[in-house]
Chain A
Amino acid sequence: MEILPALGQGFGVALEPQNLLLALIGCFAGTVIGALPGIGPTNGIAILIPLAFSLSLSPVAAMILLTSVYYGTMFGGRISSILLNIPGDAPAVMTCLDGYPMARQGRAADALAISAISSFLGGTLATIGLTLSAPLLAQAAIHFGPAEYFALYIMAVVAVSGVGSANPAKMLLSGLVGLALATIGLDPASGVPRYTFDSFELYDGIDFVVAAVGLFAISEFLLFIEQRGSGTEAKRLPVGRIGTAFHRMIYPMVTLRASLLGFIIGVLPGAGATMASFLSYTLEKRISDKEGTFGRGDPRGVAAPEAADNAAAGGNLVPMLTLGIPGSGTTAIMLGMLVTLNIQPGPLLFERQPELVWGLVASLYVSNVILLVLNIPLVGIFARLLTVPPRYLMPVIVVVSFMGVYTVSNSAFDLLLMAAFGVLGYGMRKMGFSLVPMVLGMLLGGPMEQSLRRALQASGGQVSILIASPLSIGLHLTTLGVVVLAIFLEIRRRRRLHRPVAPAEVA
C-alpha cells in the first residue's frame, strides 16, 4: 500500500468527530497527568485503560485516546520541571536543569513556550519517521510463521530485560515470572486448568489490566507514602509573560539533532524517553555549550531534551505497531489493551487492520497540533493544578484505579488481586526488579506458548523447526547478542560494585 493515500484515509478516521474529541480529552488528560509529579505516563495510561474498555470504545478510538494521553504526558512533564524544579515524569528530569533557572530569572513563560514548540517539533518529526519506517518494517510480515513469532517473542522479552543500568538477572527474572504468570488459567489448546488452585476466578487467568494497574499505580502510591516528608515543600514560580519573539523561540538545529537521536533511541527496545532526553541534553551540551551557559538557564538546554523525549515517544510506537513488541512500559500497556480487544499486534497488523494503524498514525499528527495549541495559551491552568497538594491527589488516583478495574470486572476478587499486585510491584521496585519486563511477559506468554506449540505441531515434534529459517536464526542470534551484552555489562557492574574503595575516596 502506498503511504500517502493510506495516510489520507487515516486522517479520515482521525478527524471523525468522536475521535477528534477523544484526542482532545486525551491530550488534556495527558498534559495534566504528565504535569503532576507522582503520576507518570505509565501510571496514567494504566489507570485509563480500564476506562477505555468500560466505555466500549472501538480499538482505533481507544488507541487514539491512549496515544494522545501518551504524547500529552511528554508535553506535561516539562511544566513542573520548569516551575517547581520537580520533574513531572521521569523523562522531564533534564528539563529541570535549564528550565528552572530560566523560571527563576523570570523567563518561565519563555521556557514553557520554547519547550512546547520543541516538543511539538520533536513529536511531529518522530511521527513522520513512524509514517515512513513502519510500513517498511511491517513488510517482513509475510515471512513470519509460528517459529519466527516464537523467536520474536523471546527476543522481545530478552531485549526489554537485557540492557540497562539495573541488574540484568533481575530484569530477566521479572520477564520470566511474567511469562509464568501468563500460564495461569485454562490452557487454551487443551482446556486443562493450570495453577488455578481450583479457584473459579483464576480460570480465565490473571487479567492483564488488573495486574498492570496494580503494579504501576498502586505501587506508586505505596512508594509515595514512604518518600513523604523526605523532600521539602516545593514553591511554584509564577508563569509570567512571554518575552521573546516567536521566531526566536525555535532552535531548528538543536531540535533536529535531538529529535533524530530521540527517535532512534525510542525505536530500540528497552531504551525509552528518559534515556533519550538524557543523551540529547548531554550531546547538545557538548556541541553548543561554548560559553558555559548550560545549567544556568540556556534555552537550548530546554529545547533539546523536550524534543528528544517527544520524539522517543513516537519512536517507541514503531516496534509496537510493526512487530507487536513494546519497547517501554507505556507501549506494553497499550499493546495489552489491543490484545484484550482481540487484535493481534504484530507484523500483520498493517495488512489486517489498516484503518486502525493509519487512523492512529494520523491522529498522532492531530494530537501534536492539539497539544501545541493547548499548551501555549492554557499553560497557566495546568500550572495552577500543581498547587494542589499530592495528599489530596493521590487518593483520587487510587479511587480511579479501583473504579477502572471494578467497571471492567465487577469482582471483588480482581480488586484484591490488584492490591496484591500493588504490594508486589512496590517490593519489585525497591529491589530493582523492573516492572516492564513482567508486564510484557504476562502479555506475550500466551502467544509465545501458542506459537511454540503450533510450530512443533507442524514439524511433528522436531525441535529443529525453531531454527529452520534465516529469519528465526537471525532473531535468535540477536537475542543471543543481547544476552552476551547483558552478561558483559553485569560483570562490569559487579566489578564497580565490589571495587575496593581507595583511601582518598573514603576521606
Chain B
Amino acid sequence: MSDRIAGVALALLAAWYGWTAGEYQIDFADVVGPSAFPQVLAVPIGLLGLYIALRPDPSPGWPSGRHLLGQAMAVGLLVGYALLLVPVGFLPSTTVLAGALALLLGARPGPAAASGVMVSLGCYALFAWVLDLPLPPGALFAGPE
C-alpha cells in the first residue's frame, strides 16, 4: 500500500514538475532553454512512479504507538530547535534539545538533564573555542541586535 501511495504521488509530482517547466521561457536565442531538462526528467519519473504504484513491494512495518509518538516528538523538537536556536541562543536551546532527546530515548530525568547541560557546554567549547566558529548567542546574552 505504501508503494501505491508513493508511486501515485511521484507520478502526480512528475506531471506537475514537467507542466511547470513549460512556463520557463526566455526571450533570447538559446537552443535548449531552461524548460527542456525538467521536461525530460518528468517522463521517466512519472513512468517509474506508475510502475511502483501498479507493481508495489510489500509494505514496510511502519511504527505505531509509542515509537511513532517518539518520532513525532523528536521531529517536533528538531523543528522547534531550528526556529528557536537564533532567537534564544545556543546554550539554552541546546541544553533543552539534548536533554529532551535523551529523555525521549529512555534516559531517566536526572541523567537526561545532566547530559543536556554537558552536551551543550561541550559542544559550545568545541565549536566556539576550539574551532572558533560563530554560534548564535541569543537575545538572553547578547541583547537585541
Closest chain A residue to B132 by CB distance? A55
Report Cα–Cα, A410/B2, bound state, in Å: 36
Query: Is the beta-carbon distance between B98 and A456 smaller than 8 angstroms?
Result: no
Report Cα–Cα, A460/B31, bound state, in Å: 7
Closest chain B residue to A453 by CB distance? B32
Query: Is the beta-carbon distance between A192 and B34 smaller than 8 angstroms?
Result: yes
Identify the interface centre among B37, B51, B102, B106: most chain A CB within 10 Å of its CB. B37
Query: Is the beta-carbon distance between B32 and A403 smaller than 8 angstroms?
Result: no
Determine chain B's interface SS by DSSP, over half rule: helix
Query: Is the beta-carbon distance between A394 and B101 smaller than 8 angstroms?
Result: yes
Query: Is the beta-carbon distance between B78 and A398 smaller than 8 angstroms?
Result: yes
> Separation in Å of the B130 CB from the closest CB of chain A?
10
Closest chain B residue to A177 by CB distance? B45
Q: Which of A416-432 contact B (CB under 8 A)?
A: 416, 418-419, 422-423, 426, 430-432
* Per-position binary interface string of chain B over residues 27-56, scored 1 when its CB falls under 8 Å from any chain A CB and 0 otherwise: 000111110111001101100110110010
Q: Is B125 an interface residue (CB 8 A)?
A: no
List chain A residues, Cβ under 8 A from B42: 180
Query: Is the beta-carbon distance between B45 and A176 smaller than 8 angstroms?
Result: yes
Please judge, given known A-B contacts A192-B26, A406-B136, whether A225 and B104 are in contact too, CB under 8 Å: yes
Q: Is A248 an interface residue (CB 8 A)?
A: no
> Separation in Å of the A326 CB from the closest CB of chain B?
20
Query: Is the beta-carbon distance between A423 and B97 smaller than 8 angstroms?
Result: no
> Separation in Å of the A419 CB from the closest CB of chain B?
4
Query: Is the beta-carbon distance between A395 and B97 smaller than 8 angstroms?
Result: yes
Report Cα–Cα, A406/B127, bound state, in Å: 11
List chain B residues, Cβ under 8 A from A461: 31-32
* Per-position binary interface string of chain B over residues 101-145, scored 1 when its CB falls under 8 Å from any chain A CB and 0 otherwise: 110111100010001100110110001000101111000000000
Q: Is A94 an interface residue (CB 8 A)?
A: no
Query: Is the beta-carbon distance between A395 and B48 smaller than 8 angstroms?
Result: no
> Separation in Å of the A399 CB from the closest CB of chain B?
5
Report Cα–Cα, A169/B51, bound state, in Å: 8
Query: Is the beta-carbon distance between A416 and B83 smaller than 8 angstroms?
Result: yes
Q: Of A176, A399, A406, which contacts B119 at CB under 8 A? A: A399
List chain B residues, Cβ under 8 A from A51: 131, 133
List chain A residues, Cβ under 8 A from B15: none
Please judge, given known A-B contacts A192-B24, A226-B71, whether A395 and B101 are in contact too, CB under 8 Å: yes
List chain B residues, Cβ under 8 A from A494: 55
Query: Is the beta-carbon distance between A222 and B74 smaller than 8 angstroms?
Result: yes
Q: Is A396 an interface residue (CB 8 A)?
A: yes
* Per-position binary interface string of chain A over residues 193-210, scored 1 when its CB falls under 8 Å from any chain B CB and 0 otherwise: 011000000000000000
List chain B residues, Cβ under 8 A from A229: 106
Closest chain A residue to B115 by CB distance? A392
Report Cα–Cα, A497/B3, bound state, in Å: 15
Q: Which of A394-411 contact B (CB under 8 A)?
A: 394-396, 398-400, 402-403, 406-407, 410
* Per-position binary interface string of chain A over residues 165-183, scored 1 when its CB falls under 8 Å from any chain B CB and 0 otherwise: 0010110110011011001
> Separation in Å of the A403 CB from the closest CB of chain B?
6
* Per-position binary interface string of chain A over residues 447-463, scored 1 when its CB falls under 8 Å from any chain B CB and 0 otherwise: 01100110011001100
Q: Of A177, A422, A457, which contacts B31 at CB under 8 A? A: A457
Q: Of A177, A225, A389, A497, which contacts B70 at CB under 8 A? A: A225
> Separation in Å of the B78 CB from the closest CB of chain A?
4
Report Cα–Cα, A107/B31, bound state, in Å: 68
List chain B residues, Cβ under 8 A from A160: none
Q: What total of chain B residues lie within 8 Å of the partner, measured CB to CB? A: 67
List chain B residues, Cβ under 8 A from A192: 24-26, 34
Report Cα–Cα, A422/B79, bound state, in Å: 11
Query: Is the beta-carbon distance between A419 and B85 smaller than 8 angstroms?
Result: no
Closest chain A residue to B127 by CB distance? A403
List chain A residues, Cβ under 8 A from B79: 416, 419
Q: Of B34, B45, B57, B120, which contacts A167 at CB under 8 A? A: B57
Closest chain B residue to A493 by CB distance? B57
List chain A residues, Cβ under 8 A from B115: 392, 395
List chain A residues, Cβ under 8 A from B8: none
List chain A residues, Cβ under 8 A from B49: 173
Query: Is the beta-carbon distance between B37 and A449 smaller than 8 angstroms?
Result: yes
List chain B residues, Cβ under 8 A from A449: 37
Q: Is A187 an interface residue (CB 8 A)?
A: yes
Q: Is A252 an interface residue (CB 8 A)?
A: no
Query: Is the beta-carbon distance between A190 and B37 smaller than 8 angstroms?
Result: no
Report Cα–Cα, A164/B128, bound state, in Å: 43
> Separation in Å of the B68 CB from the closest CB of chain A?
8
Identify the interface centre among A394, A403, A418, A461: most chain B CB within 10 Å of its CB. A403
Report Cα–Cα, A389/B94, bound state, in Å: 19
Q: Is B21 an interface residue (CB 8 A)?
A: yes
Q: Is A97 an interface residue (CB 8 A)?
A: no
Closest chain A residue to B62 by CB distance? A430
Q: Is A189 an interface residue (CB 8 A)?
A: yes
List chain B residues, Cβ under 8 A from A49: none
List chain B residues, Cβ under 8 A from A430: 2, 60, 62
22 pairs of residues in contact across A and B, judged by CB atoms under 8 Å: A169-B48, A169-B51, A173-B48, A173-B52, A190-B30, A194-B24, A195-B20, A221-B74, A222-B74, A225-B70, A226-B70, A391-B107, A392-B107, A394-B101, A395-B98, A406-B85, A407-B127, A412-B85, A422-B75, A432-B60, A453-B37, A457-B32
9 other A-B residue contacts (CB within 8 Å) besides A194-B21, A415-B85: A55-B133, A189-B30, A194-B38, A394-B101, A399-B98, A402-B78, A426-B71, A431-B6, A452-B37
Residues of chain A having any CB pair with chain B under 8 Å: 51, 54-55, 167, 169-170, 172-173, 176-177, 179-180, 183, 187, 189-190, 192, 194-195, 218, 221-222, 224-226, 228-229, 389-392, 394-396, 398-400, 402-403, 406-407, 410, 412, 415-416, 418-419, 422-423, 426, 430-432, 448-449, 452-453, 456-457, 460-461, 494, 497
